[in-house]
Structure 1
């Protein structure tokens, strides 16, 4: 694969972006992925106590009383979509014009919807997890993956938009790997996505992020679930969708 993409902003940053979240995936994981794809190193402050969270609230750092929060470029940014859009734009991962940006937004919204079914999974009861697993596989194979398979087949290019590596590609590979963790054979009927996965995972910044020692978090475990519930005082009675 001929791969020539480079971040637009290659200057050495005075301070690394700082991520405020739990020591786990959740809504911060897509932000970690996008920073990694852009080759940007970050620092993390993990929320482990209710007191840490309340301090951020009292400081006025959390505009809508929610995390994730990213501190960068003199801003304390909240709302996952706003953070991702800013990173994509800053590091040349958001297309070359408004039409390409609209396509990227469309494809990102699709993968966001799919990943939403997985984000709930750790907080479910064992019975509901079984139901949700069936939902995840059905949604992936019947609604979402067929769309990306057709896009790649129809335009015959290596990336989803403009034949250039973008935020859409980063989030699709994240979604593919998340679903494969639940069902390893989920790409069996999608040859274009199999090839896409191989290409994207071989991009140097992505390959590095998939290696041990990166900021990528493992599948959420019971400790992560307990921490989120204790800090936010919520997610106690989540049901399968």
Structure 2
């Protein structure tokens, strides 16, 4: 039975990195749009731990919280042994790094969402001046590639579930503010461009509908 991803109908939000990881791993899934009324019904029925989306139903295992969902998908992919990439990383140190990246992506996404919700030019200017340089400078240091095959941030060459979380958060910012915001950070831009051109991710980005974040 294919996993079912439940998220608010017509939105990308915290579900987008999950969609991307499903696509990148080649794991078939069902994307279920949820209306506000259906959300209330699911919550009342006890289907949503902590009363929130996204939620993925893995054949009866109903997981919420993006980092946990991404790690579970990575575990499924590595167990299936599709391709040479290891989404959990090569070892426990790399897996722990991936978890750290997921947490960082959540923090970055939270700050960018606050900017989006306010929606004013002042909010965008403040984000560009005060928030973005701190995050992108730190990620630029992590993005130094050890060789042409290095697809991951930090130690290891694999593109992990943590890399996917960071990629989606950074990509969403470039979509909201313009790709030019990443150009002062050459290592991060090179890493971002590699990820954009991962075959399944490129197809997903080119084919997705315009939608509110």
CA RMSD, aligned part only?
2.3
Secondary structure of the corresponding residue to residue 31 of structure 2: strand
* Equivalent residue, structure 2, for 1:163: 157
Structure 1 residue 61 displacement after superposition: 0.8
The normalised TM-score by structure 2 is: 0.82
Secondary structure of the corresponding residue to residue 47 of structure 2: coil
CA contact (8 A) 1:122 1:220 kept: no
How many residue pairs match? The answer is: 200
CA contact (8 A) 1:37 1:170 kept: no
Paired residues for 1:201-240 under 5 Å = 201-212=196-207, 216=208, 218-220=210-212
CA contact (8 A) 2:67 2:99 kept: no
Closer, same or farther in 2 for the Cα pair 1:113/1:32, shift >3 Å? same
Closer, same or farther in 2 for the Cα pair 1:165/1:46, shift >3 Å? same
Secondary structure of the corresponding residue to residue 24 of structure 1: coil
Structure 1 residue 122 displacement after superposition: 4.6
Q: Choose the corresponding residue for 2:55, options 45, 49, 69.
A: 69
Gaps of 5+ in 1: 1-14, 222-241
- The answer to which structure, 1 or 2, has the higher relative contact order (CA under 8 A, 6+ apart) is 1
Distance in 1 (alpha carbons) for counterparts of 2:143 and 2:14: 27
Structure 1 residue 211 displacement after superposition: 2.1
The normalised TM-score by structure 1 is: 0.73
More helix by share: 2
Closer, same or farther in 2 for the Cα pair 1:218/1:204, shift >3 Å? same
Q: Choose the corresponding residue for 1:178, options 163, 167, 172.
A: 172
